[in-house]
């Protein structure tokens, strides 16, 4: 009952935006809300179900975005000819170096071990750089204003969503293998670090996804507004609803995105609910609540943690791919941990950790507030500063500061919910 | 002669910057490690505590400058640090009273406190951006160099110059003074000893009549001061920007963990390990190698292992290596 009421309230908020502001902004909030809900679902799987503290969500989201570029953009054949093979060979050599170093470490012992491993790494690194660097230079020299990267595979963009999940899952596997099983704080710092590294790689490796020059004009799974406006049949139908072609086309595109996202969310939600209620879900909660007891019952805690960590991160990757598809561009410079990691945490905590519906609710509610705090804050500040003389220093400063209000608001919301509803708006049953 | 030139280049581009950066990280990591040792949680708001303290200092510096006060060849900000410490202390004590105390009384799990500190981080970050704004501010004034590269060249007749910036000297001197004072306090005074006892064994400390609220209060006082000093030194050396301070969280945590969480000596060692690896791995070694190696072996490329953008990757890799081979850190962690 409470669930229905709260969801109705959030729906009311979004509908209210539609009536008061515009349907376009309401749909925009709804679409990003759907994506946020998917991310929150992934984090809830890790935190709510297994108690894993992942603060590297941003990294997995970004990897999802990278998948969109790698899958959907057409390949740049000139770049492939210039250095594609060299880059692939270089990457293989780099991976081989790490494998060789690990093998060397495992097979040897005694004094030679440390120096030998270091030597293997050093020699491998030099060969790797010697192969990779010229190819990278060649690729980045190919039409740098428009391309300068290898491009993607030119496949349908929807395929990028599962691939984004796979990329994120692969990264999560590597991190989980090293950091899980250590203390929980260490996992937190390790994930925080890996997220920064993913961003650094995307910003710097221009051959991969153009770095800070951004990849724009990603293919879309839905029609373009311009095409719709030029389609007489569509304009006619829009006129039937009493809408002009431009508004109708923007709304139509957003609704179609919304349906796609909603389909993903519903599938993932159903799967999560089934998982939660299955023996597997009960086992996960048992491990979360008492690790030692679960271990004594013969459960492989570390392996289960790795499993759920990979699954949750994959969901974040899917959400990241969806978001980049919606944006139509990949801009590594715009990823910030406060927005893409800690805000998702606020969603999960506020919604109710351990409750999938709660996470979804938190996703919608917090995203709505994140967007609307600014206009509301602006109104408040205008009211407060109404008595001040125009052009006064303080008034300008106060009005200017409104754009930073959302961070403060999110912090206060998180602290209030933690204090008053420590288990979230929709507690775990 | 070439060897000497090589060494000067090394000192100029690697040793001196890394020592200054390491001191800043060490002071930051000391704050993290103290909170971990006594309040028993990883404080995600530490970077933003540094930002708040520095912000108050910057504002006070501007005030002093407007009044025409200056500190001669030294930056005015040094005079303003006490005000910054006051500001940061007031804020963390208020936070403790209205936020953390509730969870302490409940004996909440550490991870809950970590999430609470995430909320605090949002609030501090928002406050900083609302009050001073998100831009880059330089507030260092006074004499820029103790020795400039040209003076050094003229003095020694070497090809390479060695620039020693005032801020670097101040950083190291201040860091040594602060660390010495801290260790004196922890080892010699009654309050310091009670803090160490509390960190070692809370129950035993309570049993022997140590007032936990007093220990917590003193801890916050020290942490706010350390954070402000670290933040101001970093800001003097580079510049003040809210977002950069938030990002410092990663190297600072890496330093604290590498040294062993909860161990102050470890925090200092960790700070320098992280700083030297960051600077060393992202520095283009061509210049130094050209001097040191015989001409036949002179390198063609820059001999830069990773570009400077990857400095976070370095702290991370060091962290992972230490965690894999010595999970408690270089110095055994978890006690003061």
Interchain pair B119, A125: CB under 8 A: no
Burial class (CB in 10 A: 0-12, 13-18, 19+), A229: middle
d(CA A29, CA A82): 43
Residues 6+ apart with CB under 8 A from B12: B149, B160, B161, B162, B163
Residue B193 lies in a domain: yes
User: Over the stretch A152-184, which tens digit does the pLDDT of each residue have?
Assistant: 899 999 999 999 999 999 999 988 888 887 777
Q: Chain B contacts of A183, Cβ < 8 Å?
A: 327
d(CA B283, CA A420): 50
Residues 6+ apart with CB under 8 A from A139: A79, A82, A83, A84, A87, A148, A149, A150, A207
Q: Which of A186, A188, A407 sits opposite B126 (nearest CB)?
A: A407
Residue A76 and residue A151 in contact, taking contact as beta carbons nearer than 8 Å: yes
Q: Does A290 touch chain B (CB under 8 A)?
A: no
Q: What is the ipTM of this complex?
A: 0.90
Beta strand spans in B102-213 (E): 145-147, 164-165
Query: Chain A: nearest CA to B142, how far in angstroms?
Result: 28
Residue B315 and residue B249 in contact, taking contact as beta carbons nearer than 8 Å: no
Rg (CA), chain B: 21
Residue of chain B with shortest Cα separation from A176? B320
d(CA A293, CA A285): 12
What is the number of CB-based contacts under 8 A between chain A and chain B?
126
Interchain pair B122, A182: CB under 8 A: no
Say which CATH number the domain at B200 has: 1.10.3470
Residue of chain B with shortest Cα separation from A338? B122
Interchain pair A197, B320: CB under 8 A: no
d(CA B291, CA B304): 16
Interchain pair B120, A53: CB under 8 A: no
Q: Chain B contacts of A125, Cβ < 8 Å?
A: 305
| Counted domains in chain B | 1
Interchain pair B130, A408: CB under 8 A: yes
pTM, full prediction: 0.92
Question: Which string of b and e fits A250-261 if b means at least 16 CB within 10 Å?
Answer: bbbbbeebbebb
Query: Chain B: nearest CA to A170, how far in angstroms?
Result: 18
Q: How far is CA A275 from CA A75, A282, A285, A362, in A?
A: 39, 9, 11, 20
Q: How far is CA A299 from CA A48, A49, B58, in A?
A: 19, 16, 55
Residue A330 and residue A217 in contact, taking contact as beta carbons nearer than 8 Å: no
Tens of each residue's pLDDT in chain B, 336 residues = 678 888 888 888 899 999 999 999 999 999 999 999 999 899 999 999 999 999 999 999 999 999 988 888 889 999 999 999 999 999 999 999 999 999 999 988 888 999 999 999 999 999 999 999 888 999 888 888 888 888 888 888 888 888 889 999 999 999 999 999 999 999 999 999 999 999 888 889 889 989 999 999 999 999 999 999 999 999 999 999 988 999 899 899 999 989 888 889 999 999 999 999 999 888 888 878 888 777 777 776 777 777 777 887 888 888 878 877 787 888 876 544
Tens of each residue's pLDDT in chain A, 429 residues = 889 999 999 999 999 988 988 888 999 999 999 999 999 999 999 999 998 999 999 999 999 999 999 999 998 888 888 888 888 999 999 999 989 988 888 888 777 788 888 888 888 888 888 888 888 888 888 888 888 888 889 999 999 999 999 999 999 998 888 888 777 777 888 888 889 889 989 998 888 888 888 898 899 999 888 888 888 888 888 888 878 888 888 899 999 999 999 999 999 999 999 999 999 999 999 999 998 999 999 999 999 999 999 999 999 999 999 999 999 999 998 998 889 999 999 999 999 888 999 999 999 999 999 999 888 888 888 888 777 777 677 777 777 777 788 899 999 999 999 999 999 999 987
Q: How far is CA B334 from CA A403, B112, B207, B304, in A?
A: 41, 19, 20, 37
Interchain pair B253, A189: CB under 8 A: yes
Domain of residue B91, residue span: 2-325
Angle formed by the axes of helices B212-237 and B190-200, to 10°? Answer: 100
Q: Chain A contacts of B111, Cβ < 8 Å?
A: 51, 53, 184
Residues 6+ apart with CB under 8 A from A267: none
Q: Output the six-digit token pair for A313.
A: 């991160």
Residue B72 lies in a domain: yes
CATH class of A2-75+151-420: mainly alpha
Residue A337 and residue B250 in contact, taking contact as beta carbons nearer than 8 Å: no
Q: Closest by alpha carbon to B74, among B164, B177, B144?
A: B144
Interchain pair A342, B121: CB under 8 A: yes
d(CA A275, CA A261): 21
Q: Chain A contacts of B247, Cβ < 8 Å?
A: 196
Interchain pair B315, A193: CB under 8 A: yes
d(CA A245, CA A259): 21
Residue of chain B with shortest Cα separation from A407? B126
d(CA B10, CA B160): 10
Residue B335 lies in a domain: no
d(CA B281, CA A245): 57
The domain locations on chain A are 2-75+151-420, 76-150
Q: Chain A contacts of B307, Cβ < 8 Å?
A: 204
d(CA A71, CA A153): 5
Other Cβ atoms closer than 10 A to B80: 24
Residue of chain B with shortest Cα separation from A212? B309
d(CA A404, CA B243): 12
d(CA B32, CA B261): 8
Residue B330 lies in a domain: no
**A21: phi then psi, degrees, rounded to nearest 5:** -100, -90
Per residue, what are the HEC states of chain A? CHHHHHHHHHHHHHHHHHHHCCHHHHHHHHHHHHHHHHHHHHHHHHHHHCCCCCCCHHHHHHHHHHHHHHHHCCECHHHHHHHHHHHHHHHHHHHHHHHHHHHHHHHCCCCHHHHHHHHHHHHHHHHHHHHHHHHHHHHHHCCCCCCCCCECCCCCHHHHHHHHHHHHHHHHHHHHHHHECECHHHHHHHHHHHHHHHHHHHHHCHHHHCHHHCEECCCCCCCCHHHHHCCHHHHHHHHHCCCCHHHHHHHHHHHHHHHHHHHHHHHHHHHHHHHHHCHHHHHHHHHHHCHHHHHHCCCCHHHHHHHHHHHHHHHHHHHHHHHHHHHCEECHHHCCHHHHHHHHHHHHHHHCCCCHHHHHHHHHHHHHHHHHHHHHHHHHHHHHHHHCCCCCHHHHHHHHHHHHHHHHHHHHHHHHHHHHCCCCCCCCC
Residue B283 lies in a domain: yes
d(CA A140, CA A210): 8
Tell which A residues from 316 to 345 touch B, by Cβ distance under 8 Å.
Answer: 336-338, 342, 345
Q: Output the six-digit token pair for A203.
A: 């910003």
């Amino acid at each position: 009952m409470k669930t229905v009421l709260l969801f109705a309230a959030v729906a009311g908020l979004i509908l209210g935006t539609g009536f008061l502001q515009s349907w376009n902004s309401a749909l925009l909030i709804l679409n990003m809300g759907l994506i946020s809900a998917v991310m929150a679902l992934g984090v809830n799987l890790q935190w709510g179900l297994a108690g894993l503290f992942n603060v590297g969500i941003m990294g997995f989201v970004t990897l999802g975005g990278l998948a969109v570029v790698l899958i959907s953009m057409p390949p740049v054949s000139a770049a492939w000819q210039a250095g594609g093979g060299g880059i692939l060979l270089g990457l293989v050599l780099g991976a081989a170096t790490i494998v060789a170093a690990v093998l060397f470490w495992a097979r040897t012992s005694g004094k030679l071990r440390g120096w030998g491993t270091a030597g293997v790494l050093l020699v491998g690194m030099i060969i790797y750089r010697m192969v990779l660097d010229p190819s990278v230079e060649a690729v980045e020299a190919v039409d740098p204003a428009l391309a300068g990267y290898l491009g993607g595979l030119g496949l349908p963009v929807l395929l990028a969503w599962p691939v984004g999940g796979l990329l994120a899952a692969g990264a999560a596997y590597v991190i989980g293998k090293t950091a899980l099983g250590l203390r929980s704080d260490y996992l937190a710092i390790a994930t925080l670090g890996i997220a920064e590294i993913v961003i650094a790689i995307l910003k710097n490796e221009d051959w991969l996804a153009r770095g800070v020059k951004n990849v724009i004009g990603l293919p879309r799974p839905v029609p373009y507004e311009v095409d719709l406006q030029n389609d007489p049949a569509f304009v006619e139908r829009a006129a039937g609803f009493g809408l002009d072609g431009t508004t109708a086309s923007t709304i139509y595109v957003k609704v179609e995105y919304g349906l796609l996202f909603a389909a993903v969310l519903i599938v993932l939600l159903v799967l999560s609910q089934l998982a939660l209620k299955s023996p597997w879900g009960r086992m996960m909660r048992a491990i979360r609540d008492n690790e030692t007891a679960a271990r004594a019952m013969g459960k492989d805690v570390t392996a289960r943690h790795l499993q759920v960590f990979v699954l949750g991160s994959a969901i974040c990757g899917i959400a990241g791919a969806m978001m980049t598809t919606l944006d139509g561009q990949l801009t590594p410079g715009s990823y910030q941990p406060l927005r893409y990691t800690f805000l998702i945490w606020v969603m999960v905590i506020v919604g109710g950790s351990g409750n999938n519906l709660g996470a979804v609710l938190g996703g919608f509610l917090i995203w709505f507030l994140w967007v609307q705090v600014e206009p509301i804050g602006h109104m408040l500040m205008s009211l407060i500063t109404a008595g001040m003389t125009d052009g006064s220093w303080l008034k300008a400063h106060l009005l200017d500061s409104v754009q930073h209000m959302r961070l403060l608001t999110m912090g206060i919301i998180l602290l209030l919910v933690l204090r008053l509803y420590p288990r979230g708006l929709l507690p775990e049953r | 002669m070439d060897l000497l030139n090589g060494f000067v280049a090394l000192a100029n581009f690697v040793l001196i910057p890394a020592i200054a950066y390491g001191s800043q990280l060490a002071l930051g990591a000391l704050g993290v490690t103290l909170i971990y040792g006594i309040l028993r949680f990883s404080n995600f708001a530490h970077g933003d505590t540094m930002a708040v303290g520095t912000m108050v200092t910057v504002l006070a510096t501007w005030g002093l400058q407007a009044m025409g006060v200056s500190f001669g060849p030294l930056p005015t900000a040094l005079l303003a640090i006490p005000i910054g410490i006051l500001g940061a202390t007031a804020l963390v004590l208020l936070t403790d009273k209205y936020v953390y105390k509730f969870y302490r009384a409940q004996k909440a799990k550490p991870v809950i406190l970590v999430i609470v500190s995430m909320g605090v981080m949002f609030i501090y970050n928002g406050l900083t951006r609302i009050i001073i704004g998100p831009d880059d501010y330089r507030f260092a004034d006074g004499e820029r160099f103790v020795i400039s590269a040209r003076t050094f060249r003229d003095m020694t007749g070497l090809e390479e110059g060695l620039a020693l910036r005032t801020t670097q000297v101040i950083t190291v001197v201040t860091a040594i003074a602060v660390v010495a004072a801290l260790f004196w306090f922890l080892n010699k005074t009654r309050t310091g000893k009670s803090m160490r006892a509390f960190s070692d064994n809370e129950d035993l400390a309570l049993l022997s009549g140590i007032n936990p609220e007093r220990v917590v209060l003193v801890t916050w006082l020290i942490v706010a001061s350390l954070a402000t000093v670290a933040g101001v030194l970093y800001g003097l050396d580079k510049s003040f920007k809210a977002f950069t301070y938030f990002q410092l969280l990663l190297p600072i945590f890496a330093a604290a963990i590498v040294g062993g969480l909860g161990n102050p000596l470890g925090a200092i060692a960790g700070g320098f390990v992280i700083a030297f690896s960051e600077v060393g791995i992202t520095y283009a070694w061509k210049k130094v190698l050209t001097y040191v190696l015989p001409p036949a072996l002179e390198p063609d490329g820059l001999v830069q292992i990773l570009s400077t953008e990857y400095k976070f990757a370095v702290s991370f890799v060091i962290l992972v290596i230490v965690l894999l081979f010595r999970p408690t850190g270089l110095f055994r962690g978890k006690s003061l």
